[in-house]
């Protein structure tokens, strides 16, 4: 039986001066196009608060498909989030709920992600349908005499470390270390260290990212 073909994806090349100029022009055009949304956002923020205004307006902009949508979302988020670097990419269907979110250089956020109070450090990759709410205690539930919606909660910044990769459908409730990989469908409930591969519900460290599979299996069998 023949092996399935493997398609290698080359790394991104450094853009030429012409491409940089085109991108700069596109960013300015996106800023102009999205300016009415800014006006609507600030009016809503004055009436309802910045969090609710951000959630509704980022949902609206999440519906723009393709490259134009990427530019419009970035132009908007650069003005309303704590930080959104000009090189960050936010794909279709993704929306934000907390204006304190931070997106650093070369961050990629895949389609249909839902992000709260999150700090995505440089070169972080989020696959599709990743959920990162504002920590794991956004709702208290200890008082049996009150409905959960009346018990309040707390928000905390969830940090995804530089160069980390979060797989499709993962739910991240705690910090993820630099260079770490979280497997698709995992639920991270406790902080993960740097440069590990983790997976499961709840997520546990499978091995060090730079440890060979053969070495890990040998060490495990000796325990």
| Residue 203 vs residues 71, 171, 184, 185, 215: alpha-carbon distances, Å | 34, 10, 10, 9, 21
User: For residue 77, which of 120, 48, 47 has the smallest C-alpha distance?
Assistant: 120
Q: Give the integer Cα–Cα distance in Å for 115 and 172.
A: 10
In the DSSP assignment, the letter for residue 131 is: E
Annotation says 85 is catalytic: no
Q: Give the integer Cα–Cα distance in Å for 143 and 150.
A: 10
Q: Give the integer Cα–Cα distance in Å for 220 and 137.
A: 34
- CB distance 124 to 162 below 8 Å: yes
126 DSSP β-pair partners: 109, 166
Q: Give the integer Cα–Cα distance in Å for 170 and 128.
A: 9
From 8, 85, 131, 139, active-site residue:
139
Catalytic residues: 139
């Amino acid at each position: 039986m023949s092996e399935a073909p493997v398609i290698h994806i080359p790394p991104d090349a450094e853009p030429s001066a012409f491409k940089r100029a085109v991108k700069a022009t596109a960013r300015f055009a996106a800023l102009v196009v999205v300016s009415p949304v800014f006006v609507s956002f600030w009016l809503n923020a004055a009436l309802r608060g910045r969090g609710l205004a951000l959630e509704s307006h980022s949902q609206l902009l999440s519906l723009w498909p393709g490259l134009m949508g990427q530019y419009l979302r970035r132009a908007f988020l650069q003005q309303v989030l704590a930080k959104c670097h000009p090189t960050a990419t936010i794909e279709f269907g993704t929306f934000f709920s907390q204006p304190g979110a931070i997106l650093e250089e070369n961050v990629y956020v895949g389609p249909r992600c839902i992000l709260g109070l999150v700090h995505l450090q440089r070169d972080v990759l989020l696959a599709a349908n990743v959920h990162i709410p504002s920590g794991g205690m956004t709702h208290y539930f200890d008082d049996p005499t009150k409905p959960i919606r009346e018990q309040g909660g707390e928000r905390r910044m969830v940090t995804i470390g530089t160069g980390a990769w979060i797989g499709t459908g993962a739910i991240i409730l705690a910090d993820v270390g630099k260079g770490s990989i979280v497997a698709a469908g995992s639920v991270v409930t406790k902080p993960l260290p740097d440069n590990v591969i983790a997976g499961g519900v709840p997520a546990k460290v499978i091995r060090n990212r730079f440890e060979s599979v053969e070495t890990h299996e040998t060490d495990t069998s000796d325990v």
